């Protein structure tokens, strides 16, 4: 008796890549926000590089067939964990949701529609709310975020080119956007990009010359983080990326912004490394920051690297 081979499931329109690491409670919130949304033609790829036990228990409760659960090596870096999930994506469009954030039910329906209408658009993005560490909405931080990232007066609709939005203003939040899978040159997401991949992805998509569609509606909820929360790693990765951006001749009009941002990341990397006791690498970053843009803070940290005992530095 012969058996018929299983037919592969049809590819969804959208693949949601959800990298996670040891945050099952927040993961449950993030995942539920996608599955309970207004958009059904999707798959969710949960890429877990943490302790698999809690995620397995969550999997036992959430049996939605649209979710694909993948256990990665626990030593996998943040970027590699995201890319491992991305490699399994089958949708025409991809959206990345971090496990400590969540979406409005309308996010996918709102952002996929303009991509379907405008084939030359490579991404669609929206504004977002800011939450504190406990998940409570922070109205003041939300308004400040909208102002700081240049979305207050940004017109709804298509923007082409959008290198200024992606790079100079950094208006595109990776967890509040949907992009065409075929438009992202994945080979450019090298290990050096690291935790700065959210900014780098926006740059790579803008560098295609395609258009971006902006919706001013706040369609996601992002948990607030500080440089001290994430440690020096992201700033070290940012230094690599910002140097690469400075080498792109198309970004010459924004050189002043890029230099200031590079100096800031050197200073953050230096202060973070100093707290960890890495005085030599810290001083190299702080001196680079002072060469690019002298500030009292960077100078104070450099002086502290010489005169302040290590135990005190760790508490600063």
Can you read off the two tokens belonging to residue 192?
A: 């050096």
Widest pairwise Cα distance in the chain: 82
pLDDT at position 5, please? Answer: 44
| Contact partners, residue 166, CB within 8 Å, separation at least 6 | 172, 199, 202, 203, 205, 206, 212
pLDDT, position 270: 96
Across all residues in the chain, what is the average pLDDT?
A: 93
For residues 165 and 3, which has the higher predicted lDDT (pLDDT)?
Answer: 165
Q: Does the pLDDT at position 90 exceed 80?
A: yes
Mapped onto helix, strand or coil, the DSSP state of residue 42 is strand
CA–centroid distance for 217 within its chain:
19
For 228-250, b where at least 16 C-beta lie within 10 A, e where not — what string?
Answer: eeebbbbbbbbbbbbebbeeeee
pLDDT in tens, 103-159: 999 999 999 999 999 999 999 999 999 999 889 999 999 999 999 999 999 999 999
Residue 184 has pLDDT above 50, yes or no: yes
Q: Give the mean model confidence (pLDDT) for residues 240-262.
A: 97
Answer yes or no: are the C-beta atoms of 196 and 107 closer than 8 Å: no
The domains located in the chain, with CATH, are 14-225 (3.90.550.10), 228-308 (1.25.40)
How far is Cα of residue 302 from the mean position of the Cα atoms in its chain?
Answer: 30
Q: Each residue of 187-219: pLDDT tens digit?
A: 999 999 999 999 999 999 999 999 999 999 999
Q: Does the pTM exceed 0.85? A: yes
SS3 212: strand
Write down the pLDDT at residue 2.
Answer: 41
């Amino acid at each position: 008796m012969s058996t018929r081979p299983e037919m592969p499931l049809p590819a969804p329109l959208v693949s949601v890549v959800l990298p996670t690491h040891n945050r099952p409670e927040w993961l449950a919130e993030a995942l539920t926000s996608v599955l309970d949304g207004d958009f059904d033609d999707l798959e969710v790829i949960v890429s877990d590089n943490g302790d698999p036990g809690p995620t397995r228990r969550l999997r036992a409760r959430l049996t939605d067939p649209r979710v694909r659960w993948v256990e990665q090596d626990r030593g996998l870096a943040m970027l590699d964990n995201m890319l491992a999930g991305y490699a399994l994506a089958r949708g025409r469009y991809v959206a990345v949701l971090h496990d400590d954030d969540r979406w409005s039910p309308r996010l996918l329906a709102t952002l996929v529609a303009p991509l379907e209408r405008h084939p030359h658009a490579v991404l669609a993005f929206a504004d977002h709310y800011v939450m504190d560490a406990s998940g409570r909405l922070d109205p003041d931080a939300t308004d400040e975020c909208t102002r700081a990232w240049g979305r207050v007066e940004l017109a709804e609709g298509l923007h082409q080119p959008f290198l200024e939005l992606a790079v100079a203003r950094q208006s595109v939040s990776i967890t509040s956007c949907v992009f065409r899978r075929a438009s992202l040159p994945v080979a450019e997401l090298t290990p050096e990009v690291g935790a700065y991949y959210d900014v780098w992805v926006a740059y790579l998509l803008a560098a295609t010359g395609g258009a971006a569609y902006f919706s001013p509606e706040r369609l996601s909820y992002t948990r607030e983080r500080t440089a001290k929360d994430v440690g020096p790693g992201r700033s070290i990765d940012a230094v690599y990326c910002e140097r690469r951006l400075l080498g792109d001749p198309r970004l010459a009009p924004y050189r002043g912004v890029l230099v200031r941002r590079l100096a800031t990341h050197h200073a953050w990397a230096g202060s973070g490394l100093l707290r960890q006791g890495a005085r030599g690498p810290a001083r190299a970053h702080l001196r680079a920051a002072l060469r690019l843009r002298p500030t009292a803070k960077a100078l104070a940290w450099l002086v502290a690297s010489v005169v302040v005992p290590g135990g005190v530095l760790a508490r600063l």
